[in-house]
Structure 1
Amino acid sequence: MKSETATSCNETLFRRYRQTGDSAALSALYDQHCNNLYYYLLVMSDPNTAADVTQKVWLKVMESKQDYQSQGRFQAWLFTIGHRMLIDEFRQSKRWQADTDPDSLGSVAPVSDNQTDFHQLLKHLPFTQREAFSLQQEGFSLQDIASICDVPVETVKTRLRYARNTLKKHWKTS
């Protein structure tokens, strides 16, 4: 029920911003979602790229306010923009490497004893697995993740399964 209230509040705030240009409504949305968006982008890239893309996403939100379809969740729309802009950033800087080859799924560099930090392990996952796992940790449903990544729900399930199995296999608690 709490998430339904938050979703309703987000929809109301964005509708107010879209219809009247109310900067306080946009500011409230920014305050509510900026850190989560930045963290997602940080997990998927590096601090500079995450900061740059986060700024570009909010500019895109302002430019594209009429494109938003209220049947979806604002946060899912925001993260979809973030996903697409991050991929564009990687392509422009020639850092994009598709890792969707089934043979590469689940492969990760071994974690040494002194490198048991979960975030480091997460960074070693293939991009698509890390993305699905990170989005799930942000509270998105399988359907939302599929929509954000523009893949079928079954693909999301597979990516999550491989990510969890790899994380379990390589995580060392000592």
Structure 2
Amino acid sequence: MKSETATSCNETLFRRYRQTGDSAALSALYEQHCNNLYYYLLVMSDPNTAADVTQKVWLKVMESTQDYQNQGRFQAWLFTIGHRMLIDEFRQSKRWQADTDPDTLGSVTPVNDNEADFHQLLKHLPFTQREAFSLQQEGFSLQDIASICDVPVETVKTRLRYARNNLKKHWKTL
């Protein structure tokens, strides 16, 4: 119920911004979603790229208000824009690594702090697994993740299973 209220509030705020240009409505959306979007992009990239893409996403939201069709959660639409812009950024900077080899998890340098260890492990997951796992941790449903990543739900389930298995396997080695 709380989630439905937040979703309808987001829809109302965005509709108000789209129809009247109410900057307070956009500011409220920004305050509510900016940190989650940045964190997702940070897990998928580095701090500078995450900050740049976060800024570009909000500019895109401001420019493309008519693209939002009210056919899903505002947050899912926002993260879809972030996902696409991050991939564009990787392609432009030649850092795109669609590495699906599980052996890339091989050499993780242990650190003392468990949270830092976990984030280090996340960085070594293949991009597609890390993305699905991060979105799930942000609270997105399987359907939302599939929509954001533009893949079938079964593919999301597979990526999540591989991500969890890889994380479990390599967490034990720390």
Q: CA deviation at 1:172?
A: 3.9
1:19-72 alpha-carbon deviations (Å, 9 max, x no partner)? 000000000000000000000000000000000000000000000011101021
1:60-113 alpha-carbon deviations (Å, 9 max, x no partner)? 000001110102100000000000000000000001122347997999899999
- When you count helix as a share of all residues, which structure comes out higher? 2
The more displaced of 130-139 and 103-112 is: 103-112
Q: Distance in 2 between matches of 1:169 and 1:30?
A: 37
Alpha-carbon RMSD across the aligned residues, in angstroms, is 2.8
* Distance change >3 Å, CA 8–CA 107, structure 1 → 2: farther
Alignment pair present for 1:26 and 2:18: no
> Contact (CA 8 Å) 1:129, 1:160: kept in 2 or not?
yes
TM-score (norm 1): 0.91
* Distance change >3 Å, CA 98–CA 112, structure 1 → 2: farther
1:101-158 alpha-carbon deviations (Å, 9 max, x no partner)? 7997999899999997110011010000000000000000000000000001000000
Q: CA deviation at 1:169?
A: 1.1
> Contact (CA 8 Å) 1:145, 1:156: kept in 2 or not?
yes
TM-score (norm 2): 0.91
* Distance change >3 Å, CA 107–CA 133, structure 1 → 2: farther
Q: Distance in 2 between matches of 1:107 and 1:160?
A: 21
* Distance change >3 Å, CA 123–CA 101, structure 1 → 2: closer
* Distance change >3 Å, CA 52–CA 82, structure 1 → 2: same
The more displaced of 35-44 and 99-108 is: 99-108
The more displaced of 98-107 and 45-54 is: 98-107
Deviation beyond 6 Å, 4+ runs, structure 1 = 101-116
Q: Distance in 1 between matches of 2:130 and 2:43?
A: 8
The number of aligned residues is 174
Alignment pair present for 1:110 and 2:110: yes
Q: Distance in 1 between matches of 2:116 and 2:53?
A: 28
* Distance change >3 Å, CA 2–CA 118, structure 1 → 2: same
Unaligned segments of structure 2, at least 5 residues: none
> Contact (CA 8 Å) 1:43, 1:134: kept in 2 or not?
yes
Q: Distance in 2 between matches of 1:97 and 1:159?
A: 16
Give the secondary structure class of the aligned counterpart of 1:71. Answer: coil
Unaligned segments of structure 1, at least 5 residues: none
